[in-house]
Amino acid sequence: MGIARKSLIDYFSQNAAMVVTFVAGILLARFLGPSGFGEYNLIMLANVMLTLFTNMGIEISTRVFSGREPDKIAQIHTASVLIILAVTVVSGVLLFFFQDMLCDYYFKGVRKDLLFLAAILLPFSLYQLVWQGIIVGLGEITLYARFFMWNRIAQGAIVIILIAFSYPNMKILIYAWVVIQIITFLVSVYVMARKYRLFAPLDSAVVKKLLRFGWVVFVGNMASNLLQKYNYLIISNILGKGGVGLYTRASTFSDKITLISGSLERVTYQPAAVADEKYAPFLIQKVFRYNLYVNIIGAFLMYVFGSLCIRFLLQEEFLASIFPLKFLLISVVFMSCSRILAVYFTAHLNKPHIPGIINWAVLPASLLICYYFTKFWTLKGASVAIAIIYFIHAFAFFLVFLLKNRQLKMSDFFLFHSGDIREIKEILFKKKQSVTPA
């Protein structure tokens, strides 16, 4: 099955859950208001940030090594579980000493008991990264997409049911989310155990290999994750949870476009890892071009759709989300370009330090841009800052990729090819396809 066909399966499976999550998001926003909705998303963000800063790059490292050594899945899984346990213990100790500082500066007005619930889910969230890495590395895209779809449906459905039949407070909503995540963990273990052997005697060499590769990915991704999530913390610090609520409503719509690049990124990993030196750059260039097309079209449609939803389905206070939506969609297009090009360095060249260097080089200026734009132009400034930051980020990736592949034509990254229509027809209407260099 080709890259494009797999990405279509992955993308549409994820979008099958969009109706449920969309309705749930609208109900949450209306039910909680900008301030309550902001608090709810800050609690979600607490879990996301913990996962981002403690994952040790295990998703990418398990993805790469599972694809290259499928016969060692049990050793890879065992080593990953050990890493998760160690990271969880260290994180728990650090949080015990620094929780007050985090709550005072970045999670203002958020109840500590609810933040604690988000924190205790850390090992379950880390395991999901391992599960995703192994499944995607083995090329099980259909299984991954189906699992992701049902997880999103469950999260959205429980919110709809609670609001439809009761008047739940914030604590009940968070408890429901915790229950769904624990059930997801149990089901994921069961699904993988039916297909693969999960545990084997501990191999210290596998642990070292995962950590050595994963640490490089982790350090590089830390900068990238700061670029993606730092703006939420800045908005929380400067504008409070009400500002986070308005910004989150806009980003909820724009984030749907990231499903496109996410699908293409996942299914490109395995072909890029095994492609020969001459073909790999052309493969990435072709995926980049298709990714750009669909993201631009998707961003336009999402702006029209998102603006209508904000205007007619939410309270008047949420109208302030329309302007940020416009620039967040622009930033998503730039971000998607970076993600596709990063696959070449990580999966094909086996040099994850290259994206890491780019991320860290861009980070200092990005943090300053985000802080000062938000401070002086509030919510509008935050969204404009993100668009500027991701343009710089994408341009840096593009420049480095071109310097390493000077044989590529600049126009082939952007201009529609006559063969593109033929390949799209093959993707949509044929079971098999043959992909040729762009």
Give per-residue pLDDT as tens, 335-346.
989 989 999 998
Q: What is the pLDDT of residue 75?
A: 94
Burial of 300 (0-12, 13-18, 19+ CB in 10 A): exposed
Q: What is the pLDDT of residue 436?
A: 38
Most confident range (mean pLDDT) of 162-176, 282-296, 397-411, 412-426 is 397-411
Cβ atoms within 10 A of the Cβ of 48, count? 17
CA 130 to CA 198: how far, in whole Å? 12
Q: Is the pTM of this model over 0.85?
A: no
Task: State yes or no: pLDDT of 83 exceeds 90.
Answer: yes
- Confidence band (pLDDT; 50, 70, 90) for 141? confident
Do 57 and 216 contact (CB within 8 A), yes or no?
Answer: yes
Span 336-361, average pLDDT: 89
Do 298 and 258 contact (CB within 8 A), yes or no?
Answer: no
- Summarised one tens digit per residue, pLDDT across range 285-299 is 988 998 898 889 889
Instruction: Kindly state the tokens that stand for 90.
Output: 């260290």
- The residue that leads in pLDDT, 33 or 264, is 33
Cα–Cα distances (Å) from 152 to 147, 148, 184, 249, 306, in that order, read 9, 6, 10, 17, 19
Closest by CA to 174, choosing from 131, 228, 120, is 120
Cβ atoms within 10 A of the Cβ of 409, count? 9
CA 216 to CA 334: how far, in whole Å? 23
Work out the mean pLDDT of the chain and round it to a whole number.
84
- Confidence band (pLDDT; 50, 70, 90) for 435? very low
Q: What is the pLDDT of residue 245?
A: 84
Closest by CA to 363, choosing from 160, 248, 257, 221, is 221
Do 280 and 272 contact (CB within 8 A), yes or no?
Answer: yes
H/E segment holding residue 111 = none
Instruction: Kindly state the tokens that stand for 428.
Output: 């949509």
Do 197 and 60 contact (CB within 8 A), yes or no?
Answer: no
